[in-house]
Amino acid sequence: MSSTALPQHEQQAIDSVPKRLLIGGRWVDGERGTLAVEDPATGNTLTEVADASPADARKALDAAVAAQGDWARTPPRERGEILRRTFDAISARADELALLMTLEMGKPLAESRGEISYGAEFLRWFSEEAVRIDGRYSVNPAGGNRLLTMRQPVGPCLLITPWNFPLAMGTRKIGPAIAAGCTMVVKPAEQTPLSMLALAQILGEAGLPDGVLNIVTTSTAREVSAPLIADSRLRKLSFTGSTEVGKALVSQSAEGLLRTSMELGGNAPFIVFEDADLDAAVEGALVAKMRNGGEACTAANRFHVAKPVAAEFSERLAARLKELRIGRGTEPDVDLGPLIDNIQRGKVSELVEDAVARGASTLTGGSSVPGPGYFYDATVLADVPTGSRLLSEEVFGPVAPVASFETEAEAIASANDTQYGLVAYLYTSDLKRALRVTEALETGMVGLNQGLVSNPAAPFGGVKQSGFGREGGPEGIAEYLSTKYVAINVD
Ligand code: ADP
């Protein structure tokens, strides 16, 4: 795709970012030249970044391995203060970083600002966790021995992140890894490397020692990461992305029994009972569906609404979605940006067409927006029949399919009728029902009368094919620590 001149402030935001690989504290070229980063709102090339080869990635791991010993011995307070300074620097530069994110990912500036703040909060949270890594001392129940447990950094990590939250998906791994005393190689998504490169630069300015964080951008993710996963010096893999790739990575990790954390796909049900506050449910639906343009693993993928209120809910949601202004995320007052690329837009179209062919009715939207960029209308489909692919596959776009149910048991069964188990949203004003249904939902997270669950202080993660491991909260740092137990003879 061609490059066209960008407004000066946009060009400045792009120019300010290093475009090379970060290995052992040095910015270096990739052996394979460069790869293009596109503006999804226009399809134009924004810039080029280094394209790493497997040999480059190996050098990045060498650097992480070389830095591991000293980093693990660095006082926790120092590690925490580097994170805290980075939090402060990101907060101070939020507008410029938001612009960069919007350019490479497409979401409106207000959403990018939201992610900058959310992403930075992981660094603040883990700066506070760095000094709370503790152990235990106890007396053997039978007397005699003493039992000491200590928690130590797991060692060099490979962190692979997706394009939908270019900063936050990085900071929720990098934050705890730094706090725990681990070194790392980070491989951001090829579509959105700029936010990660900017973060690496800020971490360096905040005092992160050379080699602790190494960045490898590449157009050949599998080729570059497989040898690292097979390398016995690597001790941990944390991945956020599709279930399909996650399974392949777990299988590669089995050979060396590498520790893994997997944040994979979702297919979140959004359940509205007849007794729910419908105003709140529509507002919550808007957030759960439209945050990040629906390109989130936590996005409400399907709405299960009690029959007596299903039509009203669908119409009210459609009315709200109709008001959204679509456009390039850098423009003022835009609510919905483009999808990330044409492949993603093709998937969204296919799922909508399937539901409509089966008899769903389109209340609003339902098609791609003509012209440059990868825009798709905000869409509400009512009376989506059982068997529609939209109800079982992750749509990753601004499409809300609504199906109705008659009983609580049917709602629970529909919600759980999926391979995924990341999050479910539940609207009811009946306390007993709220707890009953929450307990029955097969997910790692539940939004109860709330359309947003993400919070750096809370354990984010799924069950079933949504993966395992938790990011955020006290659980988040545990993923980067291993426990050593010492049996002490005191006799
Ligand atoms: P998405 O569908 O959101 O693009 P992917 O799972 O394809 O999700 O990508 C998430 C991240 O995983 C990206 O950084 C991508 O480059 C990387 N990735 C994709 N395939 C592989 C693979 N086979 N091995 C390692 N990383 C991969």
Q: What is the pLDDT of residue 145?
A: 95
With a CB cutoff of 8 Å and minimum separation 6, the contacts of 122 are 168, 171, 172, 175, 176, 456, 472, 476
Number of H helices, E strands in the chain: 16, 20
Q: Are residues 295 and 258 in the same domain?
A: no
Four-point Cα dihedral 81, 84, 85, 89, nearest 10: 170
Q: Are residues 45 and 128 in the same domain?
A: yes
For ligand 1, atom 11, name the residue with the nearest CA.
162
- 94-105 vs 8-15: helix axis angle to the nearest 10? 100
Instruction: Examine residue 491 and state whether it is found in any structural domain, yes or no.
Output: no
Residue 126 has φ and ψ, to the nearest 5°, of -75, -20
Q: What is the pLDDT of residues 114-144, one digit of tens each?
A: 999 999 999 999 999 999 999 999 999 999 8
- How would you classify residue 114: left for phi > 0, otherwise alpha for psi between -120 and 50, otherwise beta? alpha
- How far apart CA 457 and CA 156 sit, in angstroms, is 24
Q: What is the pLDDT of residue 491?
A: 87
Domain containing residue 238: 8-265+466-485
In ligand 1, the atom with minimum distance to the C-alpha of 218 is 16
For ligand 1, atom 27, name the residue with the nearest CA.
221
Distance (Å) from CA 249 to ligand 1 centroid: 10
Q: Are residues 78 and 169 in the same domain?
A: yes
Q: Are residues 219 and 186 in the same domain?
A: yes
**What are the residue ranges of helices labelled H in 210-306?**
221-229, 243-254, 278-290
Q: What is the pLDDT of residue 1?
A: 45
Q: Which residues of the chain have pLDDT under 70?
A: 1-3
Give the number of domains in the chain: 2
Helix (H) / strand (E) element for 260: namely strand 259-263
The preferred substitution site among 51, 159, 160, 264 for testing ligand 1, maximizing ligand atoms within 8 Å of CB, is 160
Residue 182 annotated as catalytic: no
Residue 297 annotated as catalytic: yes
Instruction: Examine residue 490 and state whether it is found in any structural domain, yes or no.
Output: no
Distance (Å) from CA 244 to ligand 1 centroid: 9
Distance (Å) from CA 328 to ligand 1 centroid: 25
* Ligand 1 binding residues, C-beta < 6 A: 160-163, 187, 189-190, 221-222, 225, 241-242, 245, 248-249
Q: What is the pLDDT of residue 3?
A: 55
Q: Are residues 232 and 274 in the same domain?
A: no
Regarding pTM above 0.95, the answer is yes
Annotated catalytic residue within 115, 157, 190, 297? 297
Annotated catalytic residue within 190, 263, 295, 479? 263
For ligand 1, atom 22, name the residue with the nearest CA.
222
Q: Which CATH number belongs to the domain containing residue 371 in this structure?
A: 3.40.309.10
Q: Are residues 18 and 157 in the same domain?
A: yes
Residue 400: name the closest of 426, 377, 416, 420 by CA.
377
Q: What is the pLDDT of residue 10?
A: 97
Q: Report the chain's terminal Cα–Cα distance, integer Å.
A: 75
- How far apart CA 236 and CA 239 sit, in angstroms, is 10
